[in-house]
Structure 1
Amino acid sequence: MGNRRYEVPRVGSWQLVLAGMAATFVACGADAGGPEERSGTVQQALSTCSYTITTNTYQGSPEYWGTITFRNTGTSAMTSPQIAFSVPSGVVCDYDEPGWTHTQSGTTCTYSRTSSLTIGVNASYTFYYSTNSTASFTAANVQISDPSCGGSGSGGLTANQKKVAEALTSIWENDTPAINYAYSENIYDGRGYTNGRAGFCTGTGDAIMVIECYNGLRSAANGNLMARYMPGLTTINNRFLSTGESQASTAELDVIGNWRSDWAASYNNTTTRADFKSCQDQINDRLYYTPAMNEAMKWGLTTALTKAALYDAFINHGEDGARSLISAANSALGNAGQVAPVIGYNGITENAWLQKFLEKRRNTLAADSTWIEAVDRVAAYEKLRRQGNWSLATAFRNDVRARDCWGTAYPSSGYTVRNINPDGTWSTPSSYTYSCN
């Protein structure tokens, strides 16, 4: 089937007009804000902790010493903070202060506590690190999370569960469980070019976030093909911000170069791949994964299956749309007052809640002549619910259509059937039988 993508119009919260549940929306960087606003909003969305960075320096040779000082501006003490930040390409983080341990993926260094550490409300903390860089720099994309803040450090998916969830979403987005970082296409949905693993759009404020991140890691002189598009992206984004409407035009990019080719090359080039992938992962997590996990925690939703269904809904419908679906599911189960947590409220179980959430999402997709083409993506989560695969610990297939779960009123979306293993690996079965049980 190739790269067949089913996209629902993604808009900002200022455009949210509901007609029952027939107009739930999809986000493609909805409500992203301007550069400074995006930076603050995105940072808080990822970390879910409230903090202020007061010092961020790295002194090269002969010191080889980095310093990040932050103040806890939240309403509760941090007890086990995690600090992540990006270093220039080729730089290696190489030292752990007592009480800390670190990992590094590409250009992202993540430091976690090996013992408890309390940082009280309004208290400041100075974190030190070292690298092999002889040159001075400023750490990029500093992110601070802590279980006390209710973020991804507490209540999220395990690494393997997240791989499974993302493999499923990638089937719906690109007809393969393999995440397509190199994807770029104008699908003529009024949002410019749709790109990468989560469909970042040039006309809605999230593709520019990926490029801003990438520019912070790699310069044009160091192989960044996308840096030259920033003036055009900024022009488009300013129109998006001033009008509140998605921008279809790609003319400002096309006069600069071949955007689609350069986007793909940025990932396909082994020299730049790690940085480009890292930025897509970061923006995806900030805009979709972490908000989804926060909503799960808020409503008392604890299973990996429910969290995976929420994660996919946030990517497909955006934050506004996903929250509208959550509210609709709550109301349908007798929680019109939106009391949180919903699980346990008047006897509501997670099984009943997920069933209702998926039904509301099915109805939303089916209510539009274009959206209905994607309705089968909801059925896979319904089949897993019926099978009781709550921890995603059993291999499964997406050999199910909405019509198999809810009747023949729904067309077939045509997704290729894949077998997904509990560690996120996958294969294509030679035969299968469609069923919702």
Structure 2
Amino acid sequence: MFDRLWGRKDQQQGSETQSRADIANPVYKEIALQLTSTAENSTPDWTTSFGYIEDIDDGRGYTGGLVGWCSGTGDMLELVRAYAKAAPGNPLARYLPQLEQIMDAPYKQRPALSHRLLDPGFPADWKTAASDPAFQRAQLEERDRVYWQPAFEEAVRDGVGPLGLAIYYDVSVNHGPGDDDESFGGILAAARKAERPPAQGGDESKYLAAVVKDRVKILKAWGDYQKHGRQDIHNGLLEAGNLNLMPPIRWSVYDDPYELGSYPQVR
């Protein structure tokens, strides 16, 4: 099954037969961004998602942009602050007091407050701002500062390859920064207790499977788990042994199939 759906199994049977790829090569960042974008925005072309904004009824208020910044978790507030600093008087700056008020409220009140304080203009103003190069730069910089760079640094620390880096980034985006059990750092800590990472002499495939298993446990605890959700991307590539993310790469998430036939252009 997986040699057909996920690609290159005949040439990749695990870390012991693959030469180590340099995860600092920007092509692997681009592949990771595309994989996560199919889970976040149902397209591998992440550059189309600057203007995405909606309430997906996950208890986090509005979700918007490249990585799904949320009005109820604080990262959207930080993004809009960064945008206001770069471009004073922009279409979203006037919502800073409301975003701050939302974050001052208890967590369970934030979804309703997001609508009471931000409606009706916020979604339209977000979409208007998305055409502003300053807002696009703010999204790129905040994505890298909050989500990409921590994922990359931990991937280097643990000695994982391109697939591991992609998994780390997806967990970072989906679970957020922090060291509690439900956040990026806590999930990695649990996986390291279950299996040694490659930097400590462990088997890379077994270790990465432990990372995916632990994040699935958290998704189920949240009520966010879906049978064919984002974990299918990584489990499929692990089953194929494609630790170096060598094209062609075929994957599926939420029953939608995708394919990357060759190494992408770095953007």
TM > 0.5: yes
Code of the residue aligned with 1:293 in structure 2: it is F
The match for 1:286 is 145
Deviations 1:349-385 (A, max 9, x none): 22221122222233433455x3222653112222222
Query: Any stretches of 5+ residues in structure 2 without a counterpart?
Result: 1-21
| Structure 1 pair 252–367 and aligned structure 2 pair: CA distance change class (3 A) | closer
Aligned residue number for residue 177 of structure 1: 44
Q: How far, CA to CA, are the matches of 1:176 and 1:416 in structure 2?
A: 10
Aligned counterparts, 1:55-204, within 5 A? 157-179=24-46, 180-204=49-73
> Where does 1:398-437 land on structure 2 (aligned, <5 Å)?
398-399=251-252, 414-424=254-264
Determine which of 232, 235, 238 is the counterpart of 1:385: 238
Query: One-letter code of the match for 1:393?
Result: M
Matches within 5 A, 1:205-220: 205-220=74-89
Alignment correspondent of 1:305: 163
| Offset at residue 168 of structure 1 (A) | 0.8
Contact 1:190 1:246 in 2 (8 A): no
Which of the numbers 169, 185, 189 marks the counterpart of 1:327? 189
Question: Contact 1:164 / 1:422 at 8 angstroms: preserved in 2?
Answer: no
Closer, same or farther: CA 206–395 of 1 in aligned 2, 3 Å: same
- The answer to whether the Cα contact below 8 Å between 1:191 and 1:246 also exists between their aligned partners in 2 is no
Partner residue, 2:207: 353
Say if 1:197 and 1:244 are closer, same or farther in 2 by CA, change over 3 A.
Answer: same
Pair 1:261 & 2:124 matched: yes
Q: Quick one: distance in 2 between partners of 1:331 and 1:309?
A: 18
User: Aligned to 1:247, what secondary structure does the other structure show?
Assistant: helix
Distance 1:316 1:246 in 2: 21
1:160, 1:422 within 8 Å by CA — same for their partners in 2?
A: no
* 2:72/2:107 contact within 8 Å kept: no
- Contact kept, 8 Å, 1:204 with 1:246, in 2: the verdict is no
Which structure has the highest strand share of the two? Answer: 1
Larger Rg: 1
Note if contact 2:228-2:254 (Cα within 8 Å) is conserved in structure 1: no
Counterparts in 2 of 1:366 and 1:188: CA distance versus 1, 3 Å: closer
1:226–1:191 Cα change, 3 Å: same
Checking the alignment, whether the CA contact within 8 Å between 1:366 and 1:375 is kept in structure 2 is: no
- Measured in 2, the distance between the counterparts of 1:296 and 1:414 equals 26
State the alpha-carbon separation in 2 of the partners of residues 162 and 156 from structure 1.
8
Q: Which residue of 1 aligns with 2:218?
A: 364
Counting only pairs closer than 5 Å after superposition, residues 10-89 of structure 1 correspond to structure 2 as none
* Distance (Å, rounded) in 2 between the aligned partners of 1:388 and 1:355: 11
Distance 1:379 1:191, change over 3 A: closer
Q: Does 1:225 align with 2:91?
A: yes
Determine the C-alpha separation between the residues in 2 that align with 1:246 and 1:294.
34
Give 1:382's aligned amino acid. Answer: N
1:393 Cα deviation (Å)?
3.0
| Counterparts of 1:245 and 1:299, CA distance in 2 | 35
In structure 2, C-alpha distance between the alignment counterparts of 1:396 and 1:382, rounded to whole Å: 13
Give the whole-Å Cα distance in 1 for the aligned partners of 2:62 and 2:233. Answer: 28
Q: How many residues align?
A: 236
- 1:280 CA drift (Å): 0.7
1:343 aligns with 2:205: no
> Partners in 2 of 1:193 and 1:359 — Cα distance?
28
TM-score of the two chains, using structure 2 as the length reference: 0.79
Determine the C-alpha separation between the residues in 2 that align with 1:367 and 1:205: 21
Q: CA RMSD in A?
A: 2.4
- Superposition TM-score, scaled by structure 1 size: 0.50
In 2, the alpha carbon distance for the partners of 1:344 and 1:315 equals 23
Cα–Cα, structure 1 residues 416 and 244, in superposed 2: closer, same or farther, change >3 Å?
A: closer
The equivalent of 2:14 in structure 1 is: none
Using the alignment, how far apart are the partners of 1:362 and 1:281 within structure 2? 27
CA drift of 1:156 comes to 5.1
Question: What residue in structure 1 maps to residue 3 of structure 2?
Answer: none
Helix, strand or coil: the match of 1:319?
coil
How big is the shift at 1:418? 1.3
Q: How far apart, in 2, do the equivalents of 1:169 and 1:374 lie?
A: 17
Deviation at 1:234, TM superposition (A): 2.5
State the alpha-carbon separation in 1 of the partners of residues 45 and 227 from structure 2: 19
CA distance in 2, matches of 1:372, 1:197: 21
